[in-house]
Amino acid sequence: MGHEVLAAVLRVRGASLQVMLWERAREPHAHRWSLPGGELRVDEDVESSIRRQLAEKVDVRQLSHVEQLAVFSAPDRVPGPRVVATAFLGLVPSDVDPERPADTEWHCVEKLPAMAFDHASIVDRARHRLGSKLSYTNVGFALAPPEFTISLLRDHYSAALGYRVSATNLQRVLSRRLLLEPTGGTAPPGPSGGRPAALFRFSAKGIKVTDPFAVLRPPGSGRPAGGSGTT
Amino acid sequence: MGHEVLAAVLRVRGASLQVMLWERAREPHAHRWSLPGGELRVDEDVESSIRRQLAEKVDVRQLSHVEQLAVFSAPDRVPGPRVVATAFLGLVPSDVDPERPADTEWHCVEKLPAMAFDHASIVDRARHRLGSKLSYTNVGFALAPPEFTISLLRDHYSAALGYRVSATNLQRVLSRRLLLEPTGGTAPPGPSGGRPAALFRFSAKGIKVTDPFAVLRPPGSGRPAGGSGTT
DNA sequence: CACGTTTTCGACCAGTAGGCGAAAACCCCG
DNA sequence: CGGGGTTTTCGCCTACTGGTCGAAAACGTG
């Protein structure tokens, strides 16, 4: 029974969320688009494996986030011999455009091309996971450059979530979690003028929220923003 | 490369959270305790597989919740040929005590016995996941009988979370999500008297929260308890 | 220098959870 | 049968959160 690793690598481009896809040259499912990945080797765990395989497509240093998504194991998910897949979610900041082989391209997740095997459902799962985690973790910073304006961050959140978010709110929420640190610099205003935006960076001093907030907290532990995220 | 499925099946007993373990009779790791599970067959997906394998230990109808946890894939996680494991989290209500084979026993998660392979870390992961999901989903009901008092529910939450929760708060939080439905009946008071507690059941009319709340919501969507849990 | 544009900030409101403390409902005992 | 102990239940208050709105700040352009 084979085991493969696959990754839905997402990034924000303009106002849309994109996923990195790879056009299959060979049968089965030739000319359909698939997720990067490949067979798990005997001497590596799944995370090492996906990082190794992604390195062929993008510079791994540019991957700002990698996490396990789920196992896809329907017996007939690929034709031929049985293959179980461990799927990952990967994120790339919006300021880098990694060199990539000619057979890979970024596609908007809203209108995916003809996808191979069950890869469309993996992309869906990745979108959903990203959307869920955006609000209660700090993975949002994995989508943005090291220095960014609140407007840019808002646009990224909007693209990933699929609905408009308010810059006022976003800034306040993140500030309360001590995640925003002003760099002092400002970004030049756009061609139509406007007040120059202040630049921020992600503050490592902040609350690192990996897991959801506990709604039911230990007694006397203050409020959510007081920092009760486990880890 | 082999693939196995394993489950950390948890339940609350009194004030402690327990996990179902199985004592290995054969080498390797004979007499150490391990999680139920076994090899994935070629004609089943991982979830079907874990349900089938758990059926040998407990009545599957008593499993109130099953979900994928993570893949454990360190090359040397088990001696001998490579085996990748898909781990699950399972929950059993506290009112049933399934008949079980003589070689399986419930152990308090606080003081686990000598565990086989990497199973201790899987139990840890399961505890952590349950704790996280308790507050923002309704998996809490999977730990309780179909009819329960608020005090019982509070005790279960306390056991699973590892800290005291207030019954007042718990009731209010769950009520706001429309998850509590009074049955009308009352439970007899304990041996030391006291006001009889009202019985509740889990209301299917309520907000089914599977994913975390969105802290940043679409505009004009009201408040968290207004029901913005995705799905 | 008035105007449009974009960012930033402050104020207000509704809703949420945490923390009491009092009242209700029961048992037991004298 | 009434008082004391026990447990549940309910109401009130506070702190804090996120959503919304509008005004002020800071820039370019005509």
Q: How many CB atoms neighbour CB A211 within 10 A?
A: 18
- Residue whose Cα is closest to the C1' of C27: B193
* Separation of A195 CA and C8 C1' (Å): 9
Same-domain check for residues B218 and B144: yes
Same-domain check for residues A181 and A218: yes
Task: Looking at the complex, report in whole angstroms how far the Cα of residue B74 sits from the nearest Cα belonging to chain A.
Answer: 5
In a domain, A43, yes or no: yes
Same-domain check for residues B122 and B19: yes
∠ CA A205-A211-A217, nearest 5°, is: 90
Q: For residues A198 and A185, give the distance between their C-alpha atoms in angstroms, rounded to a whole number.
A: 6
Same-domain check for residues A59 and A40: yes
pLDDT of A134 reads 87
Exposure string of A37-56, with b = 16+ CB inside 10 Å and e = fewer, is beebbeebbbbbbbbebbee
Per-residue model confidence as pLDDT tens digits over A46-87: 999 999 999 988 888 889 999 999 999 999 999 999 999 999
Which of A133, A149, A171 delimits the end of a domain? A133
Determine contact, residues B83/B3, Cβ cutoff 8 Å: yes
What sign has the CA pseudo-torsion A165, A167, A173, A175?
Answer: positive
| Residues in chain B where the model's pLDDT stays below 70 | 205-231
Q: For residues A2 and A41, give the distance between their C-alpha atoms in angstroms, rounded to a whole number.
A: 10
Same-domain check for residues B109 and B173: no
Same-domain check for residues B127 and B20: yes
Residues of chain A that touch chain B, judged by Cβ-Cβ distance less than 8 Å? 1-3, 40, 42-47, 68, 70-71, 73-75, 82, 84, 86, 128, 131-136, 157, 161, 163-166, 169-170, 173, 211-219, 230
Q: How many domains in chain B? A: 2
In a domain, B103, yes or no: yes
Q: How many residues does chain B have?
A: 231
In a domain, B118, yes or no: yes
Structural domain for B166, as ranges: 137-226
For helices B150-161 and B119-136, the axis angle rounded to 10 degrees is: 140
CB contact set of B191 (below 8 Å; sequence gap of 6+): none
CB contact set of A187 (below 8 Å; sequence gap of 6+): A149, A196, A197, A198, A199
In a domain, B231, yes or no: no
What mean pLDDT, rounded, does chain A reach?
87
- Residue whose Cα is closest to the C1' of D11: B168
For residue A211, give the CATH number of its domain.
1.10.10.10
In a domain, A231, yes or no: no
Residues of chain B that touch chain A, judged by Cβ-Cβ distance less than 8 Å? 1-3, 40, 42-47, 68, 70-71, 73-75, 82, 84, 86, 128, 131-136, 157, 161, 163-166, 169-170, 173, 211-216, 218-219, 230
Per-residue model confidence as pLDDT tens digits over A105-130: 999 999 999 999 999 999 999 999 99
Cβ–Cβ gap B45/A74 under 8 Å:
yes
Q: For residues A101 and A110, give the distance between their C-alpha atoms in angstroms, rounded to a whole number.
A: 23
In a domain, B45, yes or no: yes
Same-domain check for residues B21 and B75: yes
Q: A133: which 2 tokens?
A: 């985690």
Same-domain check for residues B154 and B95: no
Same-domain check for residues A144 and A124: no
**Torsions phi, psi for A171 (to 5 deg):** -60, -40
Q: For residues B97 and B95, give the distance between their C-alpha atoms in angstroms, rounded to a whole number.
A: 7
Positions of E strands within B48-148 = 65-72, 83-91, 104-108, 147-148
pLDDT of B24 reads 94
For residue A89, give the CATH number of its domain.
3.90.79.10
Q: For residues B49 and B38, give the distance between their C-alpha atoms in angstroms, rounded to a whole number.
A: 8
**Torsions phi, psi for A50 (to 5 deg):** -70, -35
Read off the DSSP letter of residue B78.
S
What mean pLDDT, rounded, does chain B reach?
87
Q: For residues A133 and B214, give the distance between their C-alpha atoms in angstroms, rounded to a whole number.
A: 8
Q: What is the mean pLDDT of each run of 10 residues along chain A (231 residues)?
A: 96 94 93 96 96 90 94 96 97 87 92 96 96 86 94 94 90 86 86 88 66 51 32 22
Per-residue model confidence as pLDDT tens digits over B41-53: 999 999 999 999 9
Which of B100, B133, B166 delimits the end of a domain? B133
C-alpha B162, offset from chain centre: 14
Q: How many CB atoms neighbour CB A191 within 10 A?
A: 6
Same-domain check for residues A109 and A220: no
Same-domain check for residues B38 and B79: yes
Which of B96, B114, B133 delimits the end of a domain? B133
Determine contact, residues B6/B88, Cβ cutoff 8 Å: yes
Nearest CA in chain B to A168: B216
Same-domain check for residues B115 and B149: no
pLDDT of A132 reads 87
pLDDT of A96 reads 87
In a domain, B112, yes or no: yes
In a domain, A6, yes or no: yes
Q: A134: which 2 tokens?
A: 């955006």
